[in-house]
Amino acid sequence: MAGDPGAWSLLARLVRFTGRALRGEWRAVVVGPVRRLARRGLSGLVLAFVAASGVVLFHDLAQHPLGATWVRRLGGVTADLPLWLSLLRTPVSLYVPALDLPVWAGITQLFLAFALAELVLGRARTLAIAYVTTLAGTLTARLMIALGPGWWGFGLPAACGSVLDTGPSAAVVGLFTYLAVVRRAPVVFTLTGGSMVWESVAVPNLAGREHLIAVAAAITLGLLRGRRPRLPYAGKPRPLPVPAPGAPPAPSVPDPRIAPALPTDTARTRQCDGFRTSTGARTP
C-alpha cells in the first residue's frame, strides 16, 4: 500500500469526501440555526423553553405523593388504558419524564432538540414531528402487547401494558432523527438513531422498542418531505368537446367583442344603385 498510488488516491478522495460532509453538516446543523437565533433572539426558542419548563414542573410535582398521582392521571400513558384516554394524555406525556432516567440530562437533550427543530423547521412542524413520532411509538406498543408473545419477537407479554410510556424521550429521538434526514447529517443520525438501536439490543424493553418506532417514523416523514401530488395547472385551457358522429355541427355564435364590419363606400354605392334600379327613382 505504501507504493500504490491508486490506494493513496482513494484514501485522499475519502478524506476529502468526509471533510466536505462534515463541513456541510456543521453549516446545516450548527451555523444555520445560530444565525437564525441571532436574528430572532430568544423568541426563536419558545418551544424549547416551554418543553424544558414543563418537564421541570412535572418532575417537581412527581416528588410528592399527591402530585405523582395527578401527574400520572394527566400524562401517564400505558397500553392497558382505553385508546381515547391514551390519545387524550399523549400531548401531556411529552412533559412527563421517565422515572428511571436522570432528569437534568434529559432536560438538556430535550431543550437542544426542540431548539434546533424550532430554528430549522418552525414551530408548527416541530410540534407535528414530536407528536407524530411519540404517537407512533405509543400505538405500536399497544399493537405489540395486543399480539402477545411470539410473532418472531414482535409481540410483547400482557405485563408490559402497565409500563409507563417513554415520555419526551421519543419526541427527542424523533426530532433529532428528522433533522438528520432532512439536513443530511450522518453524524447526528448516528448519535441518535444508532444509539437507539444499540439501546434496544443491549436493554430489550418497551422503551427501546418505542424509540425504534419513533426513529422509523421520523425517517419516513423525512423522506416524504416535499413529495406532494402534482395538481393539474389551473390556467390550462380546456379541450373543446368533440361532437358525436352524425350530430349537426354546433351553430357559430358571433363574438360580441368583435364589432361587425361597416360597409365600405363601394358597397354603399352598389346598394344605392340597386335601390335606384328597383324603384326607378333617383334620390337627390
pLDDT tens digit at each of 284 positions of the chain: 455 666 777 777 777 777 777 787 777 778 888 888 888 888 888 999 998 888 888 888 888 888 888 888 888 888 888 888 888 888 888 888 766 556 667 788 889 999 999 998 888 999 999 999 999 988 988 888 888 887 677 788 888 888 877 778 888 999 999 998 888 888 888 887 777 777 777 777 788 888 889 999 999 998 887 665 454 444 444 555 555 565 565 555 555 555 555 454 444 444 444 444 444 444 44
Q: What is the pTM of this model?
A: 0.72
- Backbone φ, ψ for residue 264 (5° rounding): -80, 175
Cα dihedral: 82, 84, 88, 91 (round 10) = 90
Query: pLDDT value at position 14?
Result: 75
Which residue from 142, 147, 140 is spatially nearest to 161, judged by alpha carbons? 142
Query: pLDDT value at position 268?
Result: 46
Q: How far apart are CA 30 and CA 27, in angstroms?
A: 6
Sequence-distant (≥ 6) Cβ neighbours of residue 245 within 8 angstroms: none
Which residue from 111, 150, 142 is spatially nearest to 209, judged by alpha carbons? 142
Q: How far apart are CA 95 and CA 118, in angstroms?
A: 17
H or E element: which one contains 131?
Answer: helix 123-147
